[in-house]
Amino acid sequence: DGGITQSPKYLFRKEGQNVTLSCEQNLNHDAMYWYRQDPGQGLRLIYYSQIVNDFQKGDIAEGYSVSREKKESFPLTVTSAQKNPTAFYLCASSTAGSYEQYFGPGTRLTVT
C-alpha cells in the first residue's frame, strides 16, 4: 500500500538532546513538508522541500533542521536550540501541481 510512514509514534528525550524524526513516503511525490501541531494552534509549517537536495524554511524553522537526500525521505531534526520542542509533528507530501497534501500518522515528541 502507498502511503507515508512516520516513526516512532511516540518519542521521549531529555532537554538538550537533538532528536531526529523519520518520514518516508512511497507515493512517488515530489514535495514533502513538516508541520508542528500544538493544541489550539492548528498546524504550522516548519520546512518543506520541492525536490531532492533542496528545501525551504517555513513559518517556524528556528531550532529545526532537515535534509532531503532521497525523494522518499525527509527527516526532521529537532535541535537543542528549539525552545519548546514538545509537540505533535506531522509529515506530508504532495505531487507537483496537485495542491492537496497527504499526511503521515504523526510523531508525538515529549522533551523533559
Residues that bind another protein in the complex, under the rule CB under 8 A: 4, 6, 9, 30-31, 33, 40-45, 48-51, 56, 58, 88, 90, 92, 94, 96-106, 108
| Least distance CB 76 / another protein (angstroms) | 15
Q: Is 98 helix (H, G, I), strand (E, B) or coil?
A: coil
Contact 90, 104 (CB under 8 A): yes
| Least distance CB 80 / another protein (angstroms) | 26
Query: What single-letter DSSP state applies at residue 83?
Result: S
At CA 8, angle to CA 49 and CA 24, rounded to 5? 35
Q: Please state, as a whole number, how many other Cβ atoms lie within 10 Å of the Cβ of residue 110.
A: 11
| Least distance CB 82 / another protein (angstroms) | 20
Between 9 and 83, whose beta carbon lies closer to another protein?
Answer: 9
Between 32 and 78, whose beta carbon lies closer to another protein?
Answer: 32
